[in-house]
């Protein structure tokens, strides 16, 4: 049995553990919440803070292979563990780059990867020197997460909203589509690319509505996106499972937005709709086994199950019966006891040859399925 | 959260729990071995004996829904629990019939289900009155399991080998093929049938070699098999997931051999090769949700991973890398620490359009994959 440690105990860890049971792995999870989604599915749960040097070090020394399900972990500890001979996937150097939006952008530039024009600002007063980039997005170098640490600066009068710490000022791209490409990288360097996923946003709420695979793009753009994703992950020189998020503009250009060096929300549909899921794929990488088949069985659509507005407390699910009556509809709840407005409580995957029909089903799900409190 | 109890903690329970995490279920497992395959994947593990009245009663009173992953459980306790309002799936009456081979055969006869000609013997001395059934198989009414409690009586001189307790004497069918049909029955009575699976035996060892889905039979026989399986499960008048094992003879007749009212070895391939796996299907039934899609994505082959002869001790797996290089090969290990000759340690599923190629791959796996001790 290979001892595998996962830093973080959220839903991504949970789904990783569902797949883990197939492999000769003894699973360890560290998280600071004993009721987290992954806590009950691992062999050994360790209470600890994934951002703390000592906690990560002590945890890592108890396993043979270490991976993450969230980027915000203590990289100093991971670097020492790597020196001590623990296999860390992805490599700590990748996490160091990705944790800092400034280093991430510089990495793209150094590797000739297309990304929106930008400059680095050390403080708020420097913004006035870069008006040519406006309208722009100002992103904190470190500390931003899940929508925090990002602000939009449309015009000069918005500059006081900018950050007074090291940050990236990035020209706003006129986005036609947002897509994500998952790539698996074996320890040998072999890669497998999943077909691209398209994020569909609610035009009113400006929130992710659902994701469709494959993206509605022509084969040339699809090939370019795959090539770009491979070029990017090869530059990292690290095994792992990577989700590469890109913007497509109206001229057919592709711009790398962000990379996550881990299993990702944009790959949930692969559980049912692809021969080898992103979770199974990562286990093959962690165990040093051959990569699986990333191709799609059928087109698919993934919609998050979010806590309904106005409800905070013990979660209850309304409408599951109607949703699971849809052909090839699959439920994944994350085992979170409490709901709150907008909290990711689970997801639903639909599979089918007719993508437009899947989209109609998704609209149906949005009206029928509700996470409330009894 | 619905509290669901599973009696038995083997690999079937383990795979059930992998699927359970998707549903709003709090999982409980009872088994008398805390290191059993299912122990680390449930919310609450209960140490206890599934054959003991008190243990089953106490366990069952802590859940809302109760199911099994093995038939040899205490049915008296289940009947009381059912009276107390616990939902027991399958119904205890089904288990009572199936646990006793005499009652099982009588049930087939009462419901006009084709099964091999037989008589019931109370003791060994009665056998002499039924020479017309020879060559025959003598099966103990109760207590037989996994090959025990079954003996072949080819001729009169074999009669001393027969059982001296209540048993079934069943005429040997000239078997052309052995198939299994899985059927899901919702609480509403709705059914979904999986395509039939064919068991392929090693002609030298007379052991199950692997299983192929769909069985190599014509559509008429396939339809008849499905109709027979539905007729059988409807006669049980119980929700659940049922595996119906049948013999086909050289005249195209179908004979019911045995039924298991639970997820079954003959359904392992459904995890990857069918839209809705047998495990996902049982969860839908347990949770009162609509049945899933039982159709096949592609033909498939399932081969058990057995402990190699000559090795008893801590298990180690040789050849996994070669096996997982095969296209669409999927590994499922059962988390058993110790191997012994012939022990079921896991299985491998192969998917592909060309069944003959899958069979060649299976031969390859048999030579490459070994469960040994380091």
Among B125, B123, B119, B122, smallest CA distance to B137 is for: B119
- pLDDT at residue B147, as a whole number: 64
Q: Does any domain span residue B38?
A: yes
Residue ranges of B 30-69 with Cβ closer than 8 A to chain A: 40-43
Search chain B and give the residue with CA nearest A44. B40
Boundary of a domain, candidates B171, B205, B239: B171
Mutate which: B292, B335, B348, vs A, most A CBs within 10 A: B335
* Residues B264, B163 share a domain: no
* Residues A369, A301 share a domain: yes
* CB pair distance less than 8 Å for B324 and A284: yes
Cβ(A64)–Cβ(A70) below 8 Å: no
CATH number of the domain to which A160 belongs? 3.30.1490.20
> Chain A within 8 Å of B161 (Cβ-Cβ)?
no
Q: Which of A41, A276, A289 sits opposite B21 (nearest CB)?
A: A41
Q: Does any domain span residue B259?
A: yes
Q: Which residues of A touch B290 (CB under 8 A)?
A: 321, 324-325
Taking only the tens place, the pLDDT of each residue in A199-229 is: 998 877 777 889 999 999 999 999 999 999 9
* Residues B180, B165 share a domain: no
Cβ(A1)–Cβ(A26) below 8 Å: yes
Q: Which of B41, B297, B325 sits opposite A21 (nearest CB)?
A: B41
Q: How far is it, in rounded angstroms, from Cα A169 to Cα A121?
A: 7
> Chain A within 8 Å of B21 (Cβ-Cβ)?
yes
- pLDDT at residue B348, as a whole number: 98
Question: How close B8 gets to chain A, by Cα (Å)?
Answer: 17
Residue ranges of B 328-347 with Cβ closer than 8 A to chain A: 328, 330-333, 335, 337, 346
Search chain B and give the residue with CA nearest A25. B335
> Chain B within 8 Å of A187 (Cβ-Cβ)?
no
DSSP output for A99-126: HSHHHHHHHHHHTT-----EEEESSGGG
Q: How many domains does chain A have?
A: 3
Search chain A and give the residue with CA nearest B289. A321
* Residues A257, A215 share a domain: yes
Search chain A and give the residue with CA nearest B288. A321
Tokens describing residue A93: 């150097």
CATH number of the domain to which A16 belongs? 3.40.50.20
* Residues A161, A287 share a domain: no
* CB pair distance less than 8 Å for B289 and A320: yes
Q: Does any domain span residue B107?
A: no
Boundary of a domain, candidates A155, A171, A187: A171
CB atoms within 10 A of CB A194: 28
* Residues B226, B353 share a domain: yes
* CB pair distance less than 8 Å for A24 and B333: yes
* CB pair distance less than 8 Å for A21 and B43: no
Search chain A and give the residue with CA nearest B321. A289
Tokens describing residue B187: 């609480």
Tokens describing residue B139: 């099966």
Q: Does any domain span residue B254?
A: yes
Q: How far is it, in rounded angstroms, from Cα A45 to Cα A28?
A: 6
Among A17, A36, A93, A30, smallest CA distance to A57 is for: A30
- pLDDT at residue A187, as a whole number: 96
The burial of A309, by beta-carbon neighbours within 10 Å (0-12 exposed, 13-18 middle, 19 or more buried), is given as exposed
* Residues B189, B128 share a domain: no
* Residues A268, A252 share a domain: yes
pTM, two decimal places? 0.96
- pLDDT at residue B145, as a whole number: 65
Q: Does any domain span residue B260?
A: yes
* Residues A264, A312 share a domain: yes
Residue A220's H or E segment, with its range, is helix A219-236
Q: Does any domain span residue A270?
A: yes
Q: Does any domain span residue A108?
A: no
Owning domain of residue B162: 117-171
* Residues A61, A123 share a domain: no
Work out the end-to-end distance of chain A between its first and last CA atoms, rounded to an integer number of angstroms: 43
Low-confidence residues in chain A, pLDDT < 70: 145-147
Question: How close B28 gets to chain A, by Cα (Å)?
Answer: 12
Q: How far is it, in rounded angstroms, from Cα A115 to Cα A257?
A: 7
- pLDDT at residue B148, as a whole number: 77
Among A38, A23, A80, smallest CA distance to A56 is for: A80
* Residues A316, A198 share a domain: yes
> Chain A within 8 Å of B351 (Cβ-Cβ)?
yes
Low-confidence residues in chain B, pLDDT < 50: none
- State CA B13 to chain mean position distance: 12
Task: Compute φ and ψ for A232, nearest 5 degrees.
Answer: -65, -50
Q: How far is it, in rounded angstroms, from Cα A149 to Cα B122?
A: 80
* CB crowding B97-134: b at 16 or more within 10 Å, else e: bbbbbbebbbbbeeeebebbebbebeebebbeebeebb
CATH number of the domain to which B225 belongs? 3.30.470.20
* Residues A194, A328 share a domain: yes
* CB pair distance less than 8 Å for A324 and B289: yes
Work out the end-to-end distance of chain B between its first and last CA atoms, rounded to an integer number of angstroms: 43
Q: How far is it, in rounded angstroms, from Cα B92 to Cα B247?
A: 26
Taking only the tens place, the pLDDT of each residue in B127-168 is: 999 999 999 999 999 987 666 789 999 999 999 999 999 999
Taking only the tens place, the pLDDT of each residue in B314-344 is: 999 999 999 999 999 999 999 999 999 999 9
A to B CB pairs, distance under 8 Å: 86
Among A130, A132, A150, A154, smallest CA distance to A142 is for: A150
Q: Does any domain span residue A110?
A: no
- pLDDT at residue B374, as a whole number: 83
> Chain A within 8 Å of B23 (Cβ-Cβ)?
yes
Among A13, A14, A26, smallest CA distance to A70 is for: A13
Q: How far is it, in rounded angstroms, from Cα B54 to Cα A223?
A: 63
């Amino acid at each position: 049995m290979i001892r595998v440690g996962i830093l973080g105990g959220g839903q991504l860890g949970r789904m990783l553990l569902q797949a883990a049971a197939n492999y000769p792995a003894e699973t360890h999870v560290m998280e600071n919440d004993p009721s987290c989604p992954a806590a009950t599915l691992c062999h050994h749960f360790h209470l600890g803070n994934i951002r703390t040097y000592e906690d990560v070090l002590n945890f890592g020394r108890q396993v043979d292979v270490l991976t993450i399900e969230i980027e915000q972990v203590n990289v100093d500890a991971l670097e020492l563990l790597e020196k001590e001979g623990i296999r860390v996937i992805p490599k700590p150097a990748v996490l160091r780059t990705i944790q800092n939006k400034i280093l991430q952008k510089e990495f793209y530039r150094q590797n000739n990867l297309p990304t929106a024009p930008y400059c680095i600002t050390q403080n708020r007063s420097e913004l006035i020197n870069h008006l040519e980039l406006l309208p722009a997005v100002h992103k904190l170098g470190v500390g931003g997460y899940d929508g925090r640490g990002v602000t939009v600066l449309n015009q000069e009068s918005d500059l006081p909203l900018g950050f007074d710490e090291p940050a990236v000022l990035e020209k706003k791209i006129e986005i036609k589509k947002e897509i994500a490409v998952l790539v698996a990288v074996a320890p040998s360097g072999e890669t497998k690319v999943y077909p691209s996923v398209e994020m569909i946003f609610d035009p009113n709420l400006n929130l992710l509505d659902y994701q469709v695979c494959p993206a509605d793009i022509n084969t040339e753009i699809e090939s370019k996106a795959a090539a770009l994703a491979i070029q990017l992950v090869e530059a990292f020189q690290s095994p792992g499972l990577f989700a590469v998020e890109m913007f497509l503009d109206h001229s057919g250009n592709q711009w790398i937005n962000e990379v996550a060096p881990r299993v990702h929300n944009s790959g949930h549909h692969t559980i049912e709709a692809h021969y080898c899921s992103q979770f199974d794929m990562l286990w093959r990488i962690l165990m040093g086994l051959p990569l699986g088949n990333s191709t799609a069985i059928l087109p698919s659509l993934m919609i998050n199950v979010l806590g309904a507005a106005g409800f905070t407390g013990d979660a209850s699910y309304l409408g599951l019966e109607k949703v699971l009556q849809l052909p090839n509809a699959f439920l994944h709840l994350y085992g979170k006891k409490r709901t709150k407005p907008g909290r990711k409580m689970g997801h639903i995957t639909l599979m089918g040859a007719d993508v437009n029909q899947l989209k109609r089903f998704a609209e149906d799900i949005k009206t029928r399925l509700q996470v409330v409190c009894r």
